[in-house]
Amino acid sequence: MSAMPPEWSARSLLARFAVYGHFYEREAGGALWQLRDRLEIFEHALPWERVRDGNADMVAVMMNPGASRPLAEADADGWCPAVPDRTQYQLMRLTLAAAALGAPRIRHIRVINLSDLRTPKSAQLFATLPHAPGWHTIFDPSRRAELQRALGAPDTPVLLAWGMAPQLRPLARQALDALQSRPALGLTDDGTAYRHPLPQRADLQSIWVQRMAEQMAQHKKPIPSPPR
Protein backbone atom coordinates (compact mmCIF):
# COMPACT_ATOMS: atom_id res chain seq x y z
CA MET A 1 0.00 0.00 0.00
CA SER A 2 2.40 2.68 -1.17
CA ALA A 3 -0.22 5.38 -1.81
CA MET A 4 -3.34 6.11 0.21
CA PRO A 5 -6.53 5.40 -1.76
CA PRO A 6 -8.78 8.49 -2.11
CA GLU A 7 -11.48 6.86 0.00
CA TRP A 8 -8.99 6.68 2.89
CA SER A 9 -8.72 10.46 3.25
CA ALA A 10 -10.10 12.03 6.42
CA ARG A 11 -12.71 13.93 4.42
CA SER A 12 -13.98 10.79 2.68
CA LEU A 13 -14.04 8.81 5.90
CA LEU A 14 -16.01 11.48 7.77
CA ALA A 15 -18.52 11.55 4.92
CA ARG A 16 -19.12 7.88 5.61
CA PHE A 17 -18.66 7.50 9.40
CA ALA A 18 -19.84 9.35 12.49
CA VAL A 19 -17.97 9.30 15.82
CA TYR A 20 -19.79 9.59 19.15
CA GLY A 21 -18.35 9.26 22.63
CA HIS A 22 -19.68 8.76 26.14
CA PHE A 23 -17.77 11.11 28.45
CA TYR A 24 -18.05 11.37 32.21
CA GLU A 25 -16.34 12.75 35.31
CA ARG A 26 -15.73 11.21 38.69
CA GLU A 27 -14.25 12.66 41.86
CA ALA A 28 -11.87 10.57 43.96
CA GLY A 29 -8.91 11.29 46.20
CA GLY A 30 -9.53 15.01 46.01
CA ALA A 31 -9.20 15.02 42.21
CA LEU A 32 -11.74 15.29 39.41
CA TRP A 33 -11.06 12.56 36.86
CA GLN A 34 -11.94 13.13 33.20
CA LEU A 35 -12.99 9.85 31.53
CA ARG A 36 -14.57 8.24 28.47
CA ASP A 37 -15.90 4.71 28.64
CA ARG A 38 -17.17 4.13 25.08
CA LEU A 39 -16.68 5.44 21.59
CA GLU A 40 -18.95 4.48 18.70
CA ILE A 41 -17.69 4.68 15.10
CA PHE A 42 -20.55 3.98 12.70
CA GLU A 43 -21.87 4.62 9.23
CA HIS A 44 -24.16 7.63 9.07
CA ALA A 45 -26.99 5.48 7.69
CA LEU A 46 -27.28 3.51 10.94
CA PRO A 47 -29.90 4.75 13.44
CA TRP A 48 -28.29 6.17 16.57
CA GLU A 49 -30.55 4.14 18.88
CA ARG A 50 -29.33 0.92 17.25
CA VAL A 51 -25.71 2.02 17.63
CA ARG A 52 -26.07 3.10 21.26
CA ASP A 53 -28.10 0.17 22.52
CA GLY A 54 -27.27 -2.68 20.13
CA ASN A 55 -24.34 -4.90 19.28
CA ALA A 56 -21.41 -3.56 17.29
CA ASP A 57 -20.01 -5.44 14.30
CA MET A 58 -16.60 -5.35 16.01
CA VAL A 59 -15.28 -4.17 19.38
CA ALA A 60 -11.81 -2.61 19.49
CA VAL A 61 -9.84 -2.57 22.74
CA MET A 62 -7.36 0.31 22.80
CA MET A 63 -5.04 1.79 25.42
CA ASN A 64 -6.99 4.83 26.68
CA PRO A 65 -8.99 7.74 25.22
CA GLY A 66 -5.95 10.03 25.15
CA ALA A 67 -6.90 13.55 24.12
CA SER A 68 -10.37 12.54 22.94
CA ARG A 69 -12.86 15.34 23.59
CA PRO A 70 -16.47 16.23 22.88
CA LEU A 71 -17.41 18.26 19.83
CA ALA A 72 -20.69 19.48 21.29
CA GLU A 73 -22.75 19.56 24.46
CA ALA A 74 -23.55 16.06 25.71
CA ASP A 75 -27.12 14.82 25.81
CA ALA A 76 -28.83 13.82 29.04
CA ASP A 77 -27.13 10.41 28.93
CA GLY A 78 -23.63 11.80 28.39
CA TRP A 79 -23.34 11.10 24.63
CA CYS A 80 -22.06 13.62 22.10
CA PRO A 81 -20.15 13.84 18.82
CA ALA A 82 -16.42 13.37 19.43
CA VAL A 83 -13.35 14.71 17.69
CA PRO A 84 -11.95 11.79 15.66
CA ASP A 85 -8.23 11.18 16.02
CA ARG A 86 -5.75 9.53 13.67
CA THR A 87 -6.17 6.14 15.33
CA GLN A 88 -9.91 6.19 14.72
CA TYR A 89 -9.31 6.97 11.06
CA GLN A 90 -7.14 3.85 10.94
CA LEU A 91 -10.05 1.77 12.24
CA MET A 92 -12.30 3.25 9.56
CA ARG A 93 -9.72 2.40 6.89
CA LEU A 94 -9.55 -1.13 8.21
CA THR A 95 -13.25 -1.65 7.57
CA LEU A 96 -12.78 -0.64 3.92
CA ALA A 97 -9.62 -2.70 3.40
CA ALA A 98 -11.17 -5.80 4.98
CA ALA A 99 -14.34 -5.53 2.90
CA ALA A 100 -12.22 -5.31 -0.25
CA LEU A 101 -10.71 -8.69 0.69
CA GLY A 102 -14.11 -10.30 1.23
CA ALA A 103 -14.40 -9.98 5.01
CA PRO A 104 -17.87 -9.43 6.51
CA ARG A 105 -18.89 -5.78 6.28
CA ILE A 106 -18.09 -3.74 9.39
CA ARG A 107 -20.49 -0.80 9.67
CA HIS A 108 -20.13 -0.16 13.41
CA ILE A 109 -17.05 -0.37 15.65
CA ARG A 110 -17.34 0.09 19.40
CA VAL A 111 -14.13 1.23 21.09
CA ILE A 112 -13.40 0.46 24.74
CA ASN A 113 -10.07 0.89 26.50
CA LEU A 114 -7.78 -0.67 29.06
CA SER A 115 -8.28 2.62 30.94
CA ASP A 116 -11.01 5.25 30.69
CA LEU A 117 -8.58 8.00 31.76
CA ARG A 118 -8.39 10.86 29.27
CA THR A 119 -4.68 11.59 29.65
CA PRO A 120 -3.28 13.15 26.44
CA LYS A 121 0.29 11.93 27.03
CA SER A 122 1.21 8.26 27.44
CA ALA A 123 3.80 9.14 30.08
CA GLN A 124 1.09 10.82 32.14
CA LEU A 125 -1.10 7.73 31.87
CA PHE A 126 1.72 5.40 32.92
CA ALA A 127 2.50 7.61 35.93
CA THR A 128 -1.18 7.70 36.93
CA LEU A 129 -2.06 4.01 36.55
CA PRO A 130 -0.47 2.76 39.81
CA HIS A 131 -2.60 5.26 41.77
CA ALA A 132 -5.83 5.11 39.76
CA PRO A 133 -9.00 3.71 41.38
CA GLY A 134 -10.03 0.28 40.13
CA TRP A 135 -13.08 1.66 38.35
CA HIS A 136 -10.90 3.44 35.77
CA THR A 137 -10.90 0.22 33.71
CA ILE A 138 -13.98 -1.47 32.29
CA PHE A 139 -12.18 -4.77 32.92
CA ASP A 140 -12.38 -4.31 36.69
CA PRO A 141 -14.67 -7.01 38.22
CA SER A 142 -16.96 -4.29 39.58
CA ARG A 143 -17.84 -3.34 35.98
CA ARG A 144 -18.42 -6.85 34.62
CA ALA A 145 -22.05 -6.22 33.60
CA GLU A 146 -21.07 -3.01 31.77
CA LEU A 147 -18.31 -4.87 29.93
CA GLN A 148 -20.67 -7.61 28.79
CA ARG A 149 -23.13 -5.03 27.43
CA ALA A 150 -20.33 -3.28 25.54
CA LEU A 151 -19.02 -6.54 24.05
CA GLY A 152 -22.45 -7.67 22.90
CA ALA A 153 -23.07 -11.07 21.33
CA PRO A 154 -20.56 -13.85 22.10
CA ASP A 155 -19.54 -14.11 18.44
CA THR A 156 -18.73 -10.40 18.04
CA PRO A 157 -15.04 -10.17 17.04
CA VAL A 158 -12.74 -8.26 19.39
CA LEU A 159 -9.79 -6.35 17.95
CA LEU A 160 -6.90 -6.18 20.44
CA ALA A 161 -4.78 -3.10 19.67
CA TRP A 162 -3.54 -1.42 22.86
CA GLY A 163 0.10 -1.17 21.86
CA MET A 164 3.40 -2.56 23.04
CA ALA A 165 4.17 -0.53 26.19
CA PRO A 166 5.38 -2.81 29.02
CA GLN A 167 3.60 -0.55 31.54
CA LEU A 168 0.29 -1.91 30.20
CA ARG A 169 1.01 -5.57 30.89
CA PRO A 170 -1.02 -5.82 34.15
CA LEU A 171 -4.05 -4.18 32.52
CA ALA A 172 -3.58 -6.25 29.36
CA ARG A 173 -3.59 -9.49 31.34
CA GLN A 174 -6.71 -8.38 33.20
CA ALA A 175 -8.42 -7.65 29.88
CA LEU A 176 -7.34 -10.94 28.31
CA ASP A 177 -8.70 -12.85 31.30
CA ALA A 178 -12.06 -11.10 30.89
CA LEU A 179 -12.13 -11.68 27.11
CA GLN A 180 -11.36 -15.40 27.03
CA SER A 181 -13.49 -17.33 24.51
CA ARG A 182 -14.26 -14.19 22.48
CA PRO A 183 -13.21 -14.29 18.80
CA ALA A 184 -9.88 -12.41 18.74
CA LEU A 185 -8.14 -10.29 16.15
CA GLY A 186 -4.82 -8.53 16.52
CA LEU A 187 -1.10 -8.54 15.77
CA THR A 188 1.05 -9.84 18.61
CA ASP A 189 4.42 -11.44 19.20
CA ASP A 190 3.91 -12.54 22.80
CA GLY A 191 0.15 -12.88 23.38
CA THR A 192 -0.03 -9.85 25.69
CA ALA A 193 1.15 -6.80 23.75
CA TYR A 194 -0.87 -6.12 20.58
CA ARG A 195 0.31 -3.72 17.90
CA HIS A 196 -1.34 -0.32 17.83
CA PRO A 197 -3.10 0.84 14.64
CA LEU A 198 -0.99 4.00 14.46
CA PRO A 199 2.76 3.31 14.62
CA GLN A 200 4.94 6.36 14.04
CA ARG A 201 5.96 5.52 10.48
CA ALA A 202 3.42 5.96 7.67
CA ASP A 203 4.51 2.76 5.92
CA LEU A 204 3.94 0.75 9.10
CA GLN A 205 0.50 2.30 9.45
CA SER A 206 -0.45 0.96 6.02
CA ILE A 207 1.09 -2.42 6.86
CA TRP A 208 -1.01 -2.64 10.03
CA VAL A 209 -4.20 -2.03 8.04
CA GLN A 210 -3.19 -4.54 5.38
CA ARG A 211 -2.23 -7.31 7.80
CA MET A 212 -5.33 -6.81 9.93
CA ALA A 213 -7.57 -6.79 6.85
CA GLU A 214 -6.03 -10.09 5.72
CA GLN A 215 -6.56 -11.55 9.18
CA MET A 216 -10.20 -10.46 9.23
CA ALA A 217 -10.79 -12.00 5.82
CA GLN A 218 -9.20 -15.33 6.77
CA HIS A 219 -10.28 -16.39 10.21
CA LYS A 220 -11.31 -15.68 13.77
CA LYS A 221 -9.62 -17.32 16.73
CA PRO A 222 -10.54 -17.49 20.43
CA ILE A 223 -8.64 -15.21 22.78
CA PRO A 224 -6.05 -17.31 24.64
CA SER A 225 -5.11 -17.05 28.29
CA PRO A 226 -2.38 -14.41 28.73
CA PRO A 227 1.17 -15.63 29.42
CA ARG A 228 2.23 -15.51 33.07
Phi first, then psi: give them for residue 196, nearest 5 degrees.
-75, 150
pLDDT band at residue 4, thresholds of 50, 70 and 90?
Answer: confident
Distance of alpha carbon 118 from alpha carbon 33, whole angstroms: 8
Mean of all residue pLDDT scores within the chain: 92
- Is residue 30 situated within a structural domain? yes
Flag whether pLDDT at 220 surpasses 80: no
Which of 156, 96, 143, 88 is CA-nearest to residue 115? Answer: 143
Please check the confidence at residue 2 and state whether its pLDDT lies above 60. Answer: no
pLDDT at 222: 65
Give the pLDDT of residue 23.
93
Torsion sign over Cα 16, 35, 135, 122: positive
Cα–Cα nearest to 17, from 87, 79, 93: 93
pLDDT of 51 above 90? yes
Confidence of residue 213 (pLDDT cuts 50, 70, 90): very high
Specify whether the CB–CB gap between 163 and 196 falls below 8 A: yes
Domain limits at 13?
6-222
Helix, strand, coil shares of the chain, percent, nearest 5, are: 35, 25, 40
- Which range has the worst mean pLDDT, 20-34, 114-128, 162-176? 20-34
- Give domain status of residue 191, yes or no: yes
Burial of 171 (0-12, 13-18, 19+ CB in 10 A): buried
What is the mean pLDDT of the segment spanning 131-140?
A: 89
Top-confidence residue, 119 or 144: 144
Higher pLDDT, 59 or 28: 59
Q: For residue 108, tell me if it sits in a domain.
A: yes
Q: Does residue 227 sit within a domain? A: no
Task: Read off the pLDDT band of 1 (50, 70, 90).
Answer: very low
Confidence tier at 226 by pLDDT (50, 70, 90): low
- This prediction has a pTM of 0.93
- Whether 40 is covered by a domain: the verdict is yes
149 lies in some domain: yes
Q: Please report whether residue 143 resides in a domain.
A: yes
Residue 1 lies in a domain: no
Domain count, the chain: 1
Stretch 177-196: mean pLDDT, rounded?
96
| Rounded percentage of the chain residues whose pLDDT exceeds 90 | 75
